[in-house]
Structure 1
Amino acid sequence: MRSAPLQRHWRAMLYVNAAVMLGVFLYKLNLQPYVPYIHLLVDYHFGFIKRALIGAVVALFTDKVSVWLVYAIGGCVWLITAGLFIRLFHKTFGFSDESLPLFVFTAGSPFFLKNFIFALGHFDIYGALAAIILLLVPARSLAIVWLATVLSALLILIHHIHLLMYVPTMTAIVVLRYYLTQGATRLNVAVGVAALLGLGALFLAAQFLGTMPIPHDEFVRYLQSKMADPSRTALLQFAYIWYQPLSKELQDTWARMPSNLLGVPVYALLLWLHAPLWRFFAATVRALADTWHQRIVLAAIGVISLAYLVMFAMVFDYSRWLSSWVVCMILLLHAVKTLPAIKVVPLIPNEDRKSARLGWIVTALPRVGIIRPF
């Protein structure tokens, strides 16, 4: 009898989350989409250039790019990602009163869908979408390795930092869902290694060979010629990032490090608010039937986290990076659930008052941010 009111609380959190997401979207419409808009303008007009795939696709359909396309394309990608994640959650955990708390701490997390709305138009969500696709498709043949390779290559062409941001998680998903369940052979291992080497070569090409071959002023004029409203030149103020070498990015990041580190306590608090989710994740790993599988999962978490540490040292958008790390952990949890277990791990209890209080806080938080907390 005492749990019924708390079950109503968890259901209420879903409605509040939907309202918060709508509010974040309306707020986002009032912000200037500086970098996301430039991504729609840059294409392969001057040859192979990093961060140009999305703009090249847009150029196939229109010569003049309107600002509203940032929200139209970003909104469609968000809706697809949200819909596929809901499908993935249903496939893994089902939908019932018992699974509602876990759904609140994942889909309702300020690190996940709400933050993707705030970062609408940025490229992070494409990695999450690709990883969700790999969790939904069958994993009984080498086809999933080829699919993961193609998706990873597309992500690197969208932005080469995806090699650190989502490719490690996608690799872990393939290892857990395919290699650990179907077994390793000379053929599939050779294909996997070749795919990783090819993706590494593509990353190096994008990083070091995909530089803009024309002067900055000429580049800006070209972008302006593609704008539906060329008078809005303020939207092009970040065009310099296509000319910024890695050394300059490192210099800027470390120059901002003292102020960015002030946000660490806030990030730690946000992660602590998800304590029920982390406890469930840890229990799921401990329940795996094979000790070797447990070690592989822990190694995957380590590799993914190490990739993010490298990102933290290179680019200062810390709120985005931490948010994507949490998304990677959420998606990795779904991959872990595909492995054999010695027992059924209880979901986050919906009658636990402490979890409910944390759930309400997580629900009320609208986002984590892009560079600094909130």
Structure 2
Amino acid sequence: MSQPNLPSHWKLIPLGELSNIQSGGTPWREKPEFYGGQIKWVKTLDLNEGIVTETEETINELGFQSIRGKLRPVNTVMVAMYGGAGTVGKSGVLGVPATTNQAVCCIEPNLDKFDSFYLLYHLIYLRPTWMREAIGTRKDPNISKGIIENTKIPLPPLPEQRAIAHTLRTIQKAKEARQRELELERERKAALMQYLFTHGTRNEPRKETELGDIPESWQVVKLGKVCKFLQYGTSKKCDLDSSGLPVLRIPNVIGGKIDTGDLKFVKLSSNEVESLMLNLGDLLFVRTNGRREYTGRCAVFSGELQEALFASYLIRARLDTEHLLPEFAQFYTMTYQGKKYLSERASSASDGKFNINTQTIKSVLIPKPNIDEQGEIINALQASDRKITALEQEAVFLDELFRAMLEELMTGRLSALSLVEEKAIA
């Protein structure tokens, strides 16, 4: 890979000249006694573009000896040589001593010349190029040890390397923190949802029902009893011609929300348009999917598009909102009980897919508090959704910032010398 217009004080050196580069091995899989010990064993799936401290599998001393293994020290940089287009070039740096399998190339840099994290980030920068070369030249995408050894790496002075690595690691840590917060908020929402649909908001005694324990004042109703009508969408072929009307399809019903990122369009008669036009509050159920647990997922149409129709693999349910709010019903379908009810009633087809129909949806049992309490539960869960959305947006922004800074710092277009000077003054 050429590196034009690098700063004049940077050197361009083949990685093999300043590093010990080797790969590992895999103990015989027919010998289970080789596995499950105290030695961490890194595979390509463990590489995370950061610090690797945990591995999916471990091996014991017998397994280690069987591959004539070497325990790689902390700060060893690793890169995936093969494993498919989505894996080639993935990297990580050891935070604990470990050994690796043969698909992982271990780079032990001369730490007097190379900062491990600078090298890690440069490998992340190189990955798109390696992937293009691997996919373009081989049926089974891979990069060889020789390619890695001969790859020329820009080598700023060590203090500048550390400043570059520090800048990128700071952004990466911020993103990791947001992702941890996001995971916790998703777990909190799941727990909150489970609690609210079994205890309510009024701290009242509970009673046993076919859905389990629910507050005494709540009823259990079939969705069909509080539904004005159910309807299948259009089966007419949709395309990318935006002169037609947008049609919501299975890919547009994701995570309990309407996603307008992958739209197709259709031209229908005025009567068909009138029949299939979505109204605010319409519930859209996915009626077929290759995975049983995804069959029956749904979302509320909340005006994400000014006008929208829906396709035949979706079922529209319009509820009687004097009795049941669509957002309440949608949140209930995301609980363990709600998902279980729908997925268990999905029938398998000869094409390997699972299906529900309007009768399945009509039969869904759902707890029904009064409208005011439904609203309170909706508000609590929507507040959690807003926090999740904000954290997702922050994580995306930080990832974009990391990629932009990676490009600027690794090409020398943005200098880290000011950080070096600040540290020297401090």
**TM-score, normalised relative to structure 1:** 0.22
More RCO (CA 8 Å, sep 6+): 1
The structure that is strand-richer by fraction is 2
